[in-house]
A and B are shown apart, each in its own frame.
Chain A
């Protein structure tokens, strides 16, 4: 069991050592690549700043993700249950998914300005597709026998949905949510890059423009911690829902 902790830790130590060694051996300037200790110092010294900017990014990420869930789930249910809606919108959705969302960011900014709204819209754009597509796929893959069983008992559409289709689709919904939350962080940062006066993405950009590379790196680390934290949150939900999920290795 110690190997589970020791080996990953050793990997990190090796990476830091190589990074440090490279900086010293080639006498790299701090503005280009700061040594790990300088990054750590910046992280600790400016922790309050990182926290307040991180809070902004976290809000954008979580709210945008919640928006994607709130709109994506009902739409997926509609598409999965109506042949007509499915034919109308499913090909469109798959097509739209291939549009690079980053390319839409400047347009979104023109429409919604540089405040929270535009960030939410961009996060929603990137997080929405994996949620709706995975959920619709999950709902459609409900075993036919279970649907027939429910029909044979004259189950109402609502009973069919919440007792059969939704639990059957739940593993797919969670897979979609995990992809979506990772993309949501990226979406928030893109939004901040495009135009904003707050957030870790903004801090990163302004730090590099002032050649304060240690702070930029600190912001980068803060961003990855944030990403890991929100991903862990989704995993926590998965663990809490485990009684309703198929056992690992026996999944759909």
Chain B
């Protein structure tokens, strides 16, 4: 059985008397340790699927299992990274990172030590006592990443986490994320609307069609050894980009 199994998930929003099908028969599964991207145009239901996997949003139909257990609500064995850093302005960096441990009732010496490690890993060691507003957007998002990892979740759910960053910061964050994934061995479900970001990061890219969102195509990407920016200039990368663009209907002669 796969680590995450999503079967025929359907989500219908009711707006007044109208029904909007946000997600139609979405299915996908992946093994523990995998990095999977959900790629699609804005408003295609990728975020809806992510929230359903997190248990924050209920589904209209279908099943979601994580680690063999059916998801019926939040289960705290995952870390969530939002599009915005969503830090608490009244807490310093360290206390923001430790927030989940407080809620889980496990803010102990071990948790403090892990917070220190994560901050060091993300290059924030010297900013532990600083308040979020004194940090740049990229640094804030790194704090948010540490916060998502503090309770050692098996699964990391990321909702366009680097969408608001500039290109250079985004590339840096991509490499940082890959490094952290190697260290923590967490599985990642990553929502993005950037084709190259999805390919650069993922073992599997799941391409969604426009509303109602369906899984259009799955692109498997395997490379030997850790990835570096060099990967972006290989024929394998270009080929994957082409397949994703075709699936999204961006190339002439396709899907029209």
Residues of A within 8 A of B (CB): 143, 145-146, 148-155, 159, 163-164, 167-168, 170, 243-247, 250
Contacts and interface: CB of A to CB of B under 8 A. Distances in A.
A85 B99 CA distance: 30
Contact of B90 (A155, A159, A170): A170
B220 interface: no
Determine which residue in A148, A150, A163, A244 has the highest number of CB atoms from chain B within 10 A of its CB, and name it: A148
Contacts of B82: 145, 148-149
B133 A246 contact: yes
A220 B89 CA distance: 42
Interface residues of B, number: 22
Residue among B74, B78, B88, B103 with the highest chain A CB neighbour number at 10 A:
B103
Interface string B123-134: 000000001010
The binding surface of chain A is classed by DSSP as helix
B221 interface: no
Interface of B: 54-56, 74-76, 78, 80, 82, 84, 86, 88-90, 99-100, 102-104, 131, 133, 151
Interface centre among B55, B86, B151 (most CB of A within 10 A): B86
Contacts of B86: 143, 145-146, 149
Contacts, number: 57
5 contacts: A145-B84, A152-B54, A154-B74, A163-B102, A244-B90
A167 B76 contact: no
Nearest to B85: A145
A243 B129 CA distance: 12
B136 to A, nearest CB: 14
Contacts of A243: 90
Contacts of A159: 103
Contacts of B100: 149, 153
Contact of B78 (A148, A152, A244, A250): A152
A243 B90 CA distance: 6
A154 B76 contact: yes
Contact of A152 (B80, B90, B102): B80
